[in-house]
Amino acid sequence: MNAEVVDGKLVSQVLREKMKSRVEALAKRDIKPGLAVILVGDDAASQVYVRNKVAACQAVGVYSVVYRLSEDVSEQNVLDELMRLNNNSEINGILVQLPLPKHIDEDKILEIISPEKDVDGFHKINVGAMVTGNARFYPCTPHGVMKLLEHYGVVIEGKHAVVVGRSNIVGKPMALMLLEKGATVSICTSKTSNLASFTRQADIVVVAVGKPKVLSGAMIKPGATIIDVGINRLADGSLAGDVDFDSVREVAGFLTPVPGGVGPMTITMLLENTIRSSEMEEMRQ
């Protein structure tokens, strides 16, 4: 059996088309959703991510502005910039591109962003809201995964989902969102002994580790849905996920590729959250 390879670009396109009409509806009422991105330093991968986010905004009619701060900017300067953006009525979404240089306290930065503009969904107030089933903004990557599963009609309720990885931005919210939809969820980490004994039981496996070939075809159940969140730069310069694509493809039912799977969906969900923020702001007026 050969898995159906999920097309994240295509699903993103479908969702972005629907977003365009929401942006047009807002424009008729003189409202333009706005996203501010703060980029500190010149990390090559971060530059690419930010460029892609700006291009995606342009394509659906969302205003975007990038604040490029030097690697040695003080923490206070970043905090001041964020305070200004919190008070800027043209901005509905604020995103600080991670990782930040070591001298800047990431927690402090994320907590100063107004929860109403926290389109990454990382603020503790928004995390708490999500945990209690009252989400304002779902974190973009797991949200994108849920939209992919929905698009392909993958049944979640009553199924066993295994999430590999427990980061605050992917693993933990992913597990929670699957739980919310009725899956029985296991979370595996670097401390899990015998990962395969978990993944072999799973109907859905989401891998968010950051190491190539963590999951092979021998470690999964035939027909399982495999979501590869990982992005790894290989020695030859090419990109690979966390999944051994070729062996998993022979066993899985659905499989996301890297690139072209979860990545485009993450950016699409950033657009979703920014437009949603703008719509919610209008309702508060």
Q: Which residues bind ligand NDP (CB under 6 A)?
A: 141, 164-167, 169-171, 188-192, 195, 208-211, 214, 229-232, 262-263, 266
State how far the Cα of 190 lies from the Cα of 231, in Å rounded to an integer. Answer: 17
The string over 187-200, giving b where at least 16 C-beta atoms fall within 10 Å of a residue's C-beta and e elsewhere, is bbeeebeebeebbe
Choosing from 7, 53, 117, 159, the catalytic residue is 53
Q: Minimal distance in Å, beta carbon 41 to ligand NDP?
A: 17
Q: Minimal distance in Å, beta carbon 46 to ligand NDP?
A: 11
201 is catalytic: no
Q: Which is nearer to ligand NDP, 26 or 140 (CB)?
A: 140
Q: Which is nearer to ligand NDP, 266 or 273 (CB)?
A: 266
Q: What are phi and psi of 260, to 5 degrees?
A: 100, 10
Dihedral sign for Cα atoms in the order 173, 175, 178, 180: negative
Q: Which is nearer to ligand NDP, 21 or 197 (CB)?
A: 197
Angle (nearest 5°) at CA 111 between 116 and 174? 75
Q: Are 12 and 263 in contact (CB under 8 A)?
A: no
Q: Which is nearer to ligand NDP, 26 or 243 (CB)?
A: 243
Q: Are 16 and 45 in contact (CB under 8 A)?
A: no
Choosing from 7, 118, 120, 228, the catalytic residue is 120
28 is catalytic: no
State how far the Cα of 91 lies from the Cα of 35, in Å rounded to an integer. Answer: 6
Q: Minimal distance in Å, beta carbon 174 to ligand NDP?
A: 9
97 is catalytic: yes
Q: Minimal distance in Å, beta carbon 150 to ligand NDP?
A: 17
Helix (H, G, I), strand (E, B) or coil at 114: coil
Active-site residue numbers? 53, 97, 120
